[in-house]
Chain A
Amino acid sequence: MGALLAISRGIDAVTRFVGVQVRWLILVAVIVSAANAIIRKTFDTSSNAWLELQWLLFGAVFMLAAAYTLQKNAHVRIDVISSRISKTARDVIDLLGHIFMLAPITLILIWLSAPYFVDSFMEGENSNNAGGLPVWPAKFLVFAGFLLLFFQMISEIIKRSAVLMGIIADPAAETVHGHSPSDTAPSGGHNE
């Protein structure tokens, strides 16, 4: 188990690094989009490459941060029932969910998106828009996002098992289970 936990820590460190750094791309996207808008209005011209860059940047953010979001237990859940059952039951649901829900999804998407990206890269596929960007980076993001998510899932399975076996304390204990969508502030939870 010690070795597995070490692997888990390694995965966590990688997804954390990616998930934390990728946030700056939002700032870049804001600047690029604002500049695009101003240039379009003032000079009445626009470049497809720059327009495509906007969504590519945003795509990079949410695809690559998904694994870190999982690590931080910040994907929304419906907690109508889970808030009323024991912590152990919740842990078991999480473990089974990772194995029977997340694993098939990530594996299938990795399996499908690998050739999807490689073919595009080999062909040097270009956007249909005049002067657009190559397509493979976007396709690569689909692949990379699900790959990271898969590894994060492995790490979560290790951690959740260890928690259930009582080897480690719950690393996600401080995050409230099932919190608000539009929440950006500390989630309050019920006091009663």
Chain B
Amino acid sequence: MIDLIAHNLAPIMFLALIAFLLLGYPVAFALAANGLFFFFIAVELSPYSNEISLSWPLLQTLPGRVLDVMRNDTLLAIPFFTFMGIILEKSGMAEDLLDTVGQLFGPIRGGLAYAVILVGALLAATTGVVAASVIAMGLISLPIMLRYGYDRPLATGVIAASGTLAQIIPPSLVLIVLADQLGRSVGDMYSGALIPGLILTALYCAYVLVISILQPQKVPALPLAARTLRGSAFPLLVLMVAALAIAVACYLLLLPRIENGAAIWAATIAVVLAYLFAFSDKKFSLGYLSDLAQRVVIVLVPPLALIFLVLGTIFLGVATPTEGGAMGAAGALAMAIARRRLSFGLLSEALEATTRLSCFVLFILIGSRIFSLTFYGINGHVWVEELFLGIPGGAWGFLIAVNVLVFILGCFIDFFEIAFIVVPLLAPVAAKLGIDLVWFGVILGVNLQTSFLTPPFGFALFYMRSVAPVKAYIDKVTGGKIAGIETTQIYKGAVHFIILQAIMIAVIVMFPGLSITDEGPQVDPSTIDIEILGPDLGGGGTDGGTDSGVPPPPSFD
């Protein structure tokens, strides 16, 4: 009997973990407790099985493992990007963007839906916080969409789905965590996810386009009376063409002088000039631009500039993701101050939310490091490997199985838990099968993004529900009675977007080139990482400083 337990300790430990987690006790502590209990059991059983390589002195490595989590430079990007997103959200950026972009696209069929998708993508590129995006868009756009008769499932679906773009478009938190767990640089993961994220955005737009052709009554255009910003979009078009011309000219001028990123510098110059033009047009009432054009430029440029500041510098290899995050957070603060929206209360609230999120995320990681000490010590990774390598079809079979598994898990548990518990088990198997880990990470990223949309535990759906009207209400503008939104309508709307997500996953799986960056002239951000090379603070930790979260099996004597 003891022999049987000793030889099957890994599966037993894993099943026990599931039981521990399902109890509903905080994940971080359940993980750690599971690791600790099985550490004791494993040491007691070690005479019975040669698969167990744990002994009492190894317990001494625990404080070092906690310290390793603390010293992890990559994870430092988590509070920075969270803080940046919350500051932007609380200083009303989403509201301004939605108002303006809604006015810009409102006159065309499906325009409000496009506006939601584009603003969702813009917010995603700055915040990475799904809750904030869905709630802001649900509060601002949903009432307008309902007022003018948008199809309900479509309206809620498009808002919820666009909000989840924050998960896949850099700088997303889940990509940071995945990069850490897969042992790849965050910069690589960001460049890998960028194109798929944009394609997904385009896919959403294409879906709205198809609907607007096949079932135009579902996505009506805004009536004239609803347009508050006067003027045509024509001057905007002229301005864009002019900016483009300037950009091209600058590019040609700069190209011989700058090796790296001439295009990005050129684009920056053009955008800054356009902004200055619109700004002075407004300031001095020059009247070159229509109200609409003026407002679009003035509202859109600052977030775009911030996105450049953060993502541009990361992609150019000028800054590490952590530095980019710090710059972005500082930039967001500066923007909030410039708009006179920063108050002590707002700052304190943003810091509180950031602290809370960082705290539980990092503690789940600490818990999973305690878990992994034991799990690897009893050869658990070998068991998982054998399990997955047994799937027919090699890499393809593995990818399909993993995607189905993560999709199902995603219906019930959070992406952080999947990223910290499941991904480290899968990563070595994927590497063994020759799967590029960035590509793998991006696939998982889109899959985890889908988990926000899957009933019954999709968080984007919860947020949507929390802001969608439950009961019928009287619309303030038209005075008409508008029925509430049923939960089934929200679910129904989500289904279409889940299908789009599935298509996207299939596309990335079939075209790895979308996320595996080929050998280009670009600087690999990982090469300019400022390594604080590992003094072994880990108290003799078996996998010291440069921890990838995929700890190698401990080799003890």
Could you say which of A2-10, A78-86, A161-169 contacts chain B?
Answer: A78-86
Q: Which residue of A lies closest to B40 (CB)?
A: A104
Q: Which residues of B contact A (CB under 8 A)?
A: 20-30, 32-33, 36-37, 59-60, 62-64, 66-67, 70-73, 75-76, 79-80, 82-83, 86, 89, 128-132, 135, 173, 318-319, 322-323, 325-327, 329-330, 333, 347-348, 351-364, 370, 412-417, 456-457, 459, 462-463, 465-467, 470, 487, 530, 532-537, 539
- Cβ contact within 8 Å between A180 and B25: no
Contacts of B330 in A (CB 8 A): 30-31, 34
Question: CA–CA, A19 to B360, complex, Å?
Answer: 13
Question: Could you tell me the distance in whole angstroms from the C-beta of B179 to the nearest C-beta in chain A?
Answer: 17
Question: Could you tell me the distance in whole angstroms from the C-beta of A184 to the nearest C-beta in chain B?
Answer: 4
Within 130-161 of A, Cβ neighbours of B (below 8 Å) are at 132, 135, 138-139, 141-143, 145
- Cβ contact within 8 Å between B417 and A184: no
Q: Which residues of A contact B (CB under 8 A)?
A: 19-20, 22-24, 26-27, 29-31, 33-34, 36-38, 40-41, 46, 48, 51-52, 54-56, 58-59, 61-63, 65-66, 69-70, 72, 74-83, 90, 93-94, 97, 100-102, 104-105, 108-109, 112-113, 116, 127-129, 132, 135, 138-139, 141-143, 145, 177-178, 180-192
Checking A62, A76, A190 against B416 with a beta-carbon cut-off of 8 angstroms, the contacting residue is A76
Q: Which residue of B lies closest to A33 (CB)?
A: B326
Question: A141-B70, A191-B487 are known contacts. Are A178 and B86 too (CB-CB below 8 A)?
Answer: no
Question: CA–CA, A100 to B361, complex, Å?
Answer: 22
Contacts of B470 in A (CB 8 A): 191
Contacts of A112 in B (CB 8 A): 59-60, 62-63
Which secondary structure dominates where chain B touches chain A?
helix
Q: Which residue of A lies closest to B356 (CB)?
A: A74
Question: CA–CA, A102 to B255, complex, Å?
Answer: 60
Checking A61, A116, A180, A188 against B63 with a beta-carbon cut-off of 8 angstroms, the contacting residue is A116
Would you give 5 A-B contacts (Cβ < 8 Å), ordered by A? A29-B79, A77-B26, A105-B33, A112-B59, A185-B135
Question: Could you tell me the distance in whole angstroms from the C-beta of B186 to the nearest C-beta in chain A?
Answer: 15
- Cβ contact within 8 Å between B537 and A187: no
Q: Which residue of B lies closest to A31 (CB)?
A: B330
The 5 A-B pairs of least Cβ separation, nearest first, read: A188-B466, A82-B24, A128-B535, A33-B326, A101-B33
- Cβ contact within 8 Å between A94 and B355: no
- Cβ contact within 8 Å between B347 and A27: yes
Question: A46-B530, A74-B356 are known contacts. Are A23 and B70 too (CB-CB below 8 A)?
Answer: no
Q: Which residue of B lies closest to A188 (CB)?
A: B466
Question: Could you tell me the distance in whole angstroms from the C-beta of B533 to the nearest C-beta in chain A?
Answer: 7
